[in-house]
Structure 1
Amino acid sequence: MTTARATTVLVTGGTGTLGTPTVNLLREAGHDVRVLSRSAGTTPGVVTGDLTTGEGLGEAFDGVEVVLHLATRGPRADVEMGRRLVTAARDARVGHVVFQSIVGVDRIPLGYYQAKVEVESILTASGLPHTILRATQFPQLVVGMFTAQRFSPVLLTPALEVQPIAVPDVAARLAEIVAAGPAGRVGDIGGPERITGREAARAWARATGSRRPVARVRVPGKTFAAFAAGHHMVPGEPYGTGTYGQYLLERYGRGR
């Protein structure tokens, strides 16, 4: 049995929802992991560099073999950060850039999604060895639709299906990609179940003890139509094991 060679990995967004478990997995696998931060201070394993200005990136990327790009700050900032990351990676002769994207970004006309597509294009055109992984949305986003309605007497839910994927499942896939080396655009991954917005809302209501009625809504426009058409989901074999109900159980103590 062979084991993957340990590498020096720089992770952007390494303290976020996805970044934290991914960094932990990479370190458990024996990689030398650096987390990029605008203000590193004296925290072990954290290096200073700002993707929004380019300041400090030369030093932060020095000696790095793999860059895992998870940082996000909104559409306009994401594109600029992508450009600066590619420039810094090319200057440092990084051997592998991994970018985490979202399923359907090329078919759903959201500004945030369009920025992801642009970053994908910048990376693909750069000539750098790279891997792009698209995953469906996290259950945190689904729950966020409902927690944002805390003052509404009715729990509104979109008339469509969702396929949430657990953060640990995506983190595990990213760790595999880092070990495997550049592969271009790899297969999209989606969660192990498809559920309707109504099912998701009712499960959240049960988990939180809410007794509000659930109402489905249809929103006009191309964006909702793209979601309703299922462009945000992955056909075929699902990936991972973490379900929406398990997430609710972990977060609220009660599942579906």
Structure 2
Amino acid sequence: MGIDEVPYGYYAGKAEQGRLVQAGEAPWSILRATQLHEFAGQIHQRIRLGPIARMPVMQSQPVAAREVAVRLVELTEAGPAARVPDLVGPRVERMAHLSRRWAAATGARGRVIEAPIPGGFDRAMRDGTLLARAGSDHGEQTVVVVGLSAPALGQ
């Protein structure tokens, strides 16, 4: 989501891959999705500084990996469809909140703090650039415990 607007090398690479696929001769489909539910735990583990997990000030709209997989199978079975509607989770969450929930659920020790990271990538994480766009499809599973999903209940 928003990779065309975020000054971050990984996203620039993904955007370029998409452009190359679109410019090629082979029929194609591209599905963009927001971060998966498991992302909070992954980032929590990667950016720890001793007992502290310093989470960026980030909004996310996590989607269940299962829902992305189902959509990819549907697209594959249906045949090339070019750029299809993005797939996003059912609600917006703060990454620090998800990280705290993941830590509590897994017994990870330490403190989660939320702090901005200087630059344009941080701005994109805060301002909604990485969230749903008009016309996006919304998944139904919400994060109950990060890494474990359950159907959304009237949210």
Q: TM-score range by the shorter chain?
A: 0.7 to 0.9
Q: Which runs of 5+ in 2 are unaligned?
A: 150-155
Instruction: Read off the aligned partner of 2:4 and give its amino acid letter.
Output: D
Task: State which of 113, 119, 133 in structure 1 corresponds to 2:11.
Answer: 113
The verdict on how the C-alpha distance between 1:228 and 1:130 changes in structure 2, with shifts beyond 3 A counting, is same
Alpha-carbon distance in structure 1 between the residues aligned to 2:70 and 2:112: 35
Work out which structure has the larger RCO, using CA pairs closer than 8 Å and 6 or more positions apart in sequence.
2
Q: How does 1:16-31 map to 2 (within 5 A)?
A: none
Decide which of 208, 213, 227 is 2:111's aligned counterpart.
213
1:194 corresponds, among 84, 92, 96, to: 92
Question: How many Å separate the matches in 1 of 2:118 and 2:77?
Answer: 44
**Conserved? CA contact 2:34–2:63, under 8 Å:** yes
- 2:57–2:115 contact (8 Å) kept in structure 1: yes
Cα distance in 2, alignment partners of residues 171 and 195 from structure 1? 22
Number of paired residues? 148
Matches within 5 A, 1:77-96: none
RMSD across aligned C-alpha pairs, in angstroms? 2.1
* Aligned equivalent of 2:143: 244
Task: Tell me the alpha carbon deviations over residues 186-239 of structure 1, each in whole angstroms, 9 at most, x when there is no partner.
Answer: 111111221112211221121122453331110111111122122111146652
Q: Which has the larger radius of gyration?
A: 1
Supply the AA of the counterpart residue of 2:144.
G
Structure 1 residue runs of 5 or longer lacking an equivalent are 1-102, 251-256
Separation in 2 of the partners of 1:167 and 1:155? 24
Q: TM-score, normalised by structure 1?
A: 0.52
Q: Percent identity?
A: 34
